[in-house]
């Protein structure tokens, strides 16, 4: 695969505070890629530098294609109508309306509504339509489903998959680990201004090692335990409950979640 974005030795400081410390990573064409990090890790600064919204101190950013950016919020006038906003952005970018894309996003269903009248889901769809007006090769989505109900999330996820099927490269910023796991081909985790991990969700699990959660329910409630080796941990736990005379009502065992893996890497564990 060819590289859609290549970041080399990127640095950025705010005064004496170093935010990006020689950042290096690539995004391949046609993939859905998530950049993750806890607060203060440098995720927002990284994305803003790539998007051209913030200056960086040194390093190189190579972008192969046209960018489209869907921000989490937009400063549209309250009384502009949805379709008017799309036409305005199309005129700015000297492009014609993609009626098929607008129809797929359901814009025509609320085209005459003013911006302040739109629901959260409708605003998310409108923001995505505005980001697509230049027919971008690379699309940045910042918390695209934040505030949406289940139906809205499922619908927007399907739109994102369709964009990938069209060959778009998508960079996703999200705090929803389930969303990241369901949509993304690869993820990168920032820690202290550098990439601490990059790869697939499966590779992340292997990097961390096996991690299990054991939930044991008795009449006194449910207690949870963490284990690296289920074979060595489960039997001693069961013996402890037997010795205490507590009857076990239920046992649940699952692998560590993406969120748990992410936190271990992000915090430098």
Nearest to 66 by CA among 7, 166, 135, 141: 135
C-alpha distances in Å from residue 42, one per residue of 4, 161, 202, 239, 263: 21, 27, 24, 46, 15
pLDDT of res. 233: 84
Phi, psi of 9 (to 5 degrees): 50, 40
Q: Which residues of the chain have pLDDT under 70?
A: 1, 205-211, 255-269
Gyration radius (Cα) of the chain, Å: 23
pLDDT of res. 121: 84
- Tell me the pairing of strands 3-14 and 58-63: antiparallel
Residue 181: exposure state from Cβ atoms within 10 A (0-12, 13-18, ≥19)? middle
Nearest to 75 by CA among 116, 45, 46: 116
DSSP labels for 132-174? Answer: TTT--SEEEEESTTTT--HHHHHHHHHHHHHHHHTT-EEEEE-
For 21-72, write each residue's pLDDT tens digit.
999 999 999 999 999 887 778 888 999 999 999 999 999 999 999 999 987 7
Q: Greatest CA span in the chain, whole angstroms?
A: 76
- pTM beyond 0.85, yes or no: no
DSSP labels for 78-125? Answer: TT-BHHHHHHHHHHHTT----HHHHHHTTGGGGTTSBGGG--HHHHHH
């Amino acid at each position: 695969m060819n590289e859609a974005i290549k970041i080399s030795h990127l640095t950025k400081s705010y005064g004496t505070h170093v935010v990006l410390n020689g950042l290096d990573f690539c995004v391949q064409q046609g993939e859905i890629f998530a950049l993750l990090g806890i607060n203060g890790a440098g995720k927002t600064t990284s994305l803003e530098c790539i998007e051209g919204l913030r200056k960086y101190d040194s390093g190189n950013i190579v972008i192969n294609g046209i960018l489209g950016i869907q921000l989490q919020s937009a400063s549209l006038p309250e009384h502009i109508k949805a379709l008017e906003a799309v036409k305005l952005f199309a005129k700015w970018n000297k492009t014609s309306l993609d009626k098929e894309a607008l129809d797929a996003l359901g814009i025509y269903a609320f085209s005459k509504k003013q911006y302040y009248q739109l629901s959260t889901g409708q605003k998310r769809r409108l923001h995505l339509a505005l980001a697509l007006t230049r027919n971008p090769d690379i699309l940045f989505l910042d918390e695209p489903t934040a505030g949406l109900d289940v139906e809205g999330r499922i619908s927007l996820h399907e739109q994102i998959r369709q964009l990938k099927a069209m060959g778009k490269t998508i960079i996703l910023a999200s705090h929803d680990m389930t969303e990241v796991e369901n949509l993304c081909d690869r993820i990168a985790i920032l820690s202290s201004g550098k990439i601490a991990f990059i790869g697939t969700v499966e590779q992340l699990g292997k990097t961390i090692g096996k991690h299990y959660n054991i939930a044991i329910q008795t009449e006194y409630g449910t207690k949870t335990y963490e284990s690296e080796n289920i074979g060595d941990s489960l039997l001693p736990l069961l013996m402890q409950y037997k010795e205490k005379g507590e009857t076990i009502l239920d046992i649940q065992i699952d692998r560590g979640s993406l969120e748990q893996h992410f936190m271990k890497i992000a915090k430098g564990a």
